[in-house]
Amino acid sequence: MKVHVDDDRCRGHGVCVAVCPDVFTLTDGGYAETLVDDVPPELAAEVPEAVTGCPEHAITLG
């Protein structure tokens, strides 16, 4: 599973990092980015919660 954060939509709320810190992090500027290109199977259950929890709908799965 691939995951992507849209830099133009992210406002740095950090919900994704709180839900799945092994996949997402916040940059020095305070915006979310992914730590991995492909989500490992053991983390796959957490990522959809991060996607739906994003207030800006900045995260997509592919």
Domain ranges of the chain: 3-61
The fold of the 3-61 domain, in CATH, is Alpha-Beta Plaits (3.30.70)
45 is written with which tokens?
Answer: 């259950």
Tens of pLDDT along 20-54? 999 999 999 999 999 998 999 999 999 999 999 99
Residue 56 CB burial class (10 angstroms; 0-12, 13-18, ≥19): middle
* Per-position b or e across 41-53, b if 16+ CB within 10 A of its CB: eebeebbeebbee
The single-letter code of the amino acid at 11 is: R
What's the pLDDT score for residue 37?
A: 85
- C-alpha 30/C-alpha 2 separation (Å) is 22
Model-level pTM greater than 0.85? yes
